[in-house]
Structure 1
Amino acid sequence: MGSRPATAVRSVLGRSLTYRLHLLHKITDLVSQQSYVDAVGLSLSDGRCLATIGSFGPLSVNELAEHSNLNKSQGSRAAQFLVEQGLVEKVCHPEDGRGVLLSLTPEGRKVWLRTIRMVEERNAQIFGCLSAQEQAVLSDMFDRLIEHNRRG
């Protein structure tokens, strides 16, 4: 690329998938951060962890981190905060005496339902410029890209 003009190089970067995904992520997270606070009184990462536990739980801390796209220490901190708020409970893992499983408390379930409604609303806003057919095609493409890249 040494001989390509700088504008052509910038154009390559600006059209790359990872650059555009990161840009879209940053743009949508700005609004999502406030949406979590307004809808359920939680930070974006704590709200996402609550949504993850409610959607996929019960989960170990490692599973929470994996499903939430966090590292283990971030998942652990979020889990502890949600436990302290009375939204999540820890129970001994039946297969691992040293581990715990995280699940929603009755209050956590109420907050989870509000969270899921907010996530659905945010999703509709983010995809609002696409038709239902375009959304379905994009969703399928994302599924295929994720599966392809998980395989390495």
Structure 2
Amino acid sequence: MNTVDAVVQLSFRVQRILAAVGAEHDLSIIQIRLLGILRDRQPGMLELGNHLGLDKSSMTGLVSRAEKRGLVERMPSPHDGRGVLVALTPAGRRLAEVGEAQIARRVTELLNELNATQRKQFTQLASVLVHG
């Protein structure tokens, strides 16, 4: 297997983990990503759309659906009278924490296929790729 195939196949395995955890909570992968982003910040819709790679109308629909489920709330931006910030509700925070724990457990199981030295090397290399 060449490097490109290996990275793509690894991505597929991680996506299957995300999809499986999401299915257990009736969440899509993009909804899982939304909750993950909101764990430590309250971004505006534009910033959130940039993180998720979604346009304005797709972002509005995604946030509206999560809001109807009681997972997120919109609030006025203190810096921009027209801006809206998005934050997790207590229910959304609990679900994000449960999902994070389940994903961490399953990804750890995957990484346990590597020995300690390989895991350290993998972490270093993945950090370079993620952060440039």
**Normalised TM-score (structure 2):** 0.83
Runs of 4+ in 1 over 4 A off after TM superposition: none
Distance 1:21-1:78 versus aligned 2 partners, 3 A rule: farther
Tell me what 2:7 maps to.
Answer: 21
Tell me what 1:6 maps to.
Answer: none
1:106 aligns with 2:90: yes
Counterparts of 2:49 and 2:106 in 1: how far apart (Å)?
22
Counterparts of 2:120 and 2:49 in 1: how far apart (Å)?
28
**Normalised TM-score (structure 1):** 0.73
Percent identity over the alignment? 21
Determine helix, strand or coil for the equivalent of 1:89: strand
Report if the CA contact (8 A) 1:61-1:100 is conserved.
yes
Report if the CA contact (8 A) 1:88-1:102 is conserved.
yes
Instruction: Show the 5 A alignment for 1:113-128.
Output: 113-128=97-112
The count of aligned residue pairs is: 131
Gaps of 5+ in 2: none
Counterparts of 1:96 and 1:76 in 2: how far apart (Å)?
18
Counterparts of 2:63 and 2:47 in 1: how far apart (Å)?
11
Counterparts of 2:8 and 2:49 in 1: how far apart (Å)?
20
Tell me what 2:130 maps to.
Answer: 146
Counterparts of 1:142 and 1:66 in 2: how far apart (Å)?
22
Aligned CA RMSD, in angstroms, stands at 2.1
Report if the CA contact (8 A) 1:87-1:106 is conserved.
yes
Gaps of 5+ in 1: 1-13
Distance 1:76-1:121 versus aligned 2 partners, 3 A rule: farther
